[in-house]
Chain A
Amino acid sequence: MATLRCLRRSALPRLSIFSRGVQTSADTTRLTSGTPEDSSEPFQVTLHEDSFHSYKCDTPSLDVSVTKDSLLDMYRQMQTMRRMEMAADALYKAKLIRGFCHLAIGQEAVSVGIESGITPEDRVITAYRCHPFAVLRGGTIKGVIAELLGRQAGMSHGKGGSMHIFTPSFFGGNGIVGAQVPVGAGIAFAQKYLERKTATFALYGDGASNQGQVFEAFNMAKLWDLPCVFVCENNKYGMGTSAERSSSNTKYFTRGDQIPGIQVNGMDILASHQAVKFAREWVVEGKGPLLLEFVTYRYGGHSMSDPGTTYRTREEIQRMRSTQDPIRGLQRYIEEWGVASEEDLKAIDKQAKQEVDRAVEEAKESPEPEVKDLWTDIYYKGTEPPFMRGREREEVRLHY
């Protein structure tokens, strides 16, 4: 214990000096030109000067070009995603969703920010906080909720569950911490091999960043200059252990050794958007991989079985919610810049809620998977073994 105490003492000053990341306010972007009448006409805004830190590369420009439409789209998406996750929370507490369920409430500026800066041809793969990506990458809210409920209308036909949701450009939802990262390197290799000018965004959390295979993937990606953006969603806690207690280096954007990195204020959607565009351009231009660390925060626990208050204070959560919420931040921009009125936004909120409520009802109506599908999709149809153990009691008798 004496040794441990000694370690702890020596660790504290180090943290306070070196681990200061970017500021994470959600509402410090300033309008630098007038807002145009036309809702699709671009206008300029300027991010807070401490929105990005960089490692072995320049930081993205602080001047962001947006349109009224794009801001409202982001708002609608973030609000809808939060509503969906809240619905999942309620369904879980009502015991309609069972098993593991990880929600991304508080981290909306990451998923929506990524989607706003990439194209449908790009590829995304993440770990288990995957529900918003599944919807934004071409899925449906009904499909996600039904998958969580284990119903046929689920995006994996009810056979996967929370961590196992896919679309043609979204490689899931993966349940093994860190395992998706080398898979992402393989996807990026295929893009390069097929000479497609596209990028792969391989996401992982601050917790997963200490897995060995993440570094294996970094090495291969840099060695072969793969068009892969490694995205660390640093929500400050890997399950119940804070970043400072788990990682010797909490500047996750610097952990790629030869790979340049950017740390991003992941609570300001406009900073996220700008960083993603920068990263996409970087890898598509053939400069090799890039690390992107979003400093963000999850309001809930790690999973539904974690109240999320045993390893951090309620005050900390409350402070983040009240001062750095990404949706409130964008709401403030929209109202202050005259993009839309409070009433307009309330109407969007209402629509989001209705859309989610409707999807939940529809999802609930979908039946559970049929028993026969227990043993489909194991092997390619037609190549499966003639029997699978336990498939039919009667079948066994045939062989006696």
Chain B
Amino acid sequence: MSTEAAIEPPPAGGHVPSIATSTLLRSTREAALKTPSIRWCDDPQVGSSSSVLVDSRETRKMNTYQAVRDAMSIALNKDETAVVFGEDVAFGGVFRCTMGLAEEFGRERVFNTPLTEQGIAGFGIGLAAMGQTAIAEIQFSDYIYPAFDQLVNEAAKLRYRSGGQYNVGGLTIRTPTMAVGHGGLYHSQSPEGFFLGAAGLKIVIPRSPIQAKGLLLASIRDPNPVIFMEPKILYRSAIEQVPLDDYELPLSQAEILTSGSDLTILTYGTPVYTCETAIHHLSQPPPSLDALIPQSVRSASVELIDLRTILPWDVDTVVKSVQKTGRLLIVHEAGRTGGVAGEIATEIQKRCFLRLEAPVHRVTGWEDSEISTPVALQYEKFYIPDAVRVLDGIIKALTY
């Protein structure tokens, strides 16, 4: 099923210049240790983050793939039932997330599978049903479709259909997702929306190295099956000081990255940085955009939220924000029809109807009228929402 993964990793710094300079990335030790909701997992008083303990903690500069690797290393170290498997993972994986793990933990615990996505998912479900911690990799999220049946029918439903007797809580499926700039039809898709109806599964998408490590450890230990989608362009381009200790970040909890009062922007994964750039352009437009941005919106105060967990998503945080701002813009890379934004928009419209001052706006993978186009190679930059399209969405939402 899989095509050969001959994708070159993006150059350091990535294709979106703002990622390298983003103020959302925590590039100092102090900032890293103050990551909101961080839960240290190594001391007896779990959840404690007293200053004494924090002072002694170390961080190291890591990009996202190194942080993902660090998380798996901790999981393998602390949990002897944990195994890591997938296509080519034993020699590092195409994105290097499993580099050196086979040497460190043995090839019985970190091993290559055949190119067999449906088999990998089914195998992982069997393993997890036996009580083991199964960390499977689907090499690209575009290849998750052959495993769709196993994930939706078996992994998601086992607990329910056995009346709670069995579960596959130990299963985590890691998979690189979203556009890379030149992935094309089968290497740049965002399939998270297809799983929205699969109650029983969790879908998590991190935005940075610190987030990736904490959310991945939480996903691995969460007693529910989790699909953990890693935005592949961030593997190298997003760099932070990452705490070396074992810590988790909460699932199903969105994070408010910048608070504001006039507009809520909800997004996840790579577009977090696109939105940051767009917000920046709103108040300080470059000369090329200056004439297009009405003076009236330039001082608007925008609240940026990273959803982080797509299923089940944090309704409360989003509702609270929209009750405050009255306007919501949702940004994701997947196409609009049947996408995550449609689901969230409906729910927010229902819960915040009387408070909304504009319809919920969506900026998503490109659409011509009602039909999403595929993520075609030559059109990829055009397809994914860029800062100008997000900016346009901001202005539309603010001036409605």
Contacts and interface: CB of A to CB of B under 8 A. Distances in A.
B222 A383 contact: yes
A186 B134 contact: yes
Interface in B270-322: 312, 315-316, 319
Bin chain A's interface residue count. 35 or more
Interface in B213-258: 222-224, 251-252
Nearest to A200: B126
B129 A186 contact: yes
Interface residues of B, number: 50
A190 B161 CA distance: 22
A167 to B, nearest CB: 8
Nearest to B112: A223
B151 to A, nearest CB: 11
B161 A186 contact: no
Contacts of B128: 186
Contact of A380 (B122, B129, B167, B199): B167
A213 B163 contact: no
Nearest to B123: A186
16 contacts: A154-B163, A164-B161, A166-B165, A182-B126, A183-B129, A186-B128, A188-B126, A190-B131, A193-B83, A216-B122, A220-B123, A378-B160, A378-B200, A380-B222, A383-B223, A386-B315
A187 B163 contact: no
A166 B166 CA distance: 8
A378 B350 CA distance: 24
**Interface hub of A168, A187, A379 (most chain B Cβ within 10 A):** A379
B122 A183 contact: yes
A156 B351 contact: no
B122 A190 contact: no
A377 B121 CA distance: 21
Interface of B: 83, 108, 113-114, 116, 118-119, 121-132, 134, 149-150, 153-154, 159-167, 169, 199-200, 202, 222-224, 251-252, 312, 315-316, 319, 350-351, 353-354
A216 B116 contact: yes
**Interface hub of B131, B153, B154 (most chain A Cβ within 10 A):** B154
B122 A193 contact: no
B163 A396 contact: no
Contact of A376 (B83, B130, B164): B164
A189 B163 contact: no
B114 A223 contact: yes
B202 to A, nearest CB: 8
A399 B122 contact: no
Given A213-B118, A387-B315, A182 B150 contact: yes
Nearest to A181: B122
Contact of A156 (B108, B130, B163, B251): B163
A188 B160 CA distance: 23
Interface in A140-194: 154-161, 164, 166, 168, 171-172, 174-176, 179, 181-191, 193-194
Given A220-B116, A399-B351, 14 more contacts: A158-B163, A161-B161, A183-B126, A190-B131, A191-B130, A194-B130, A216-B118, A217-B122, A219-B116, A220-B119, A377-B159, A377-B160, A379-B199, A396-B351
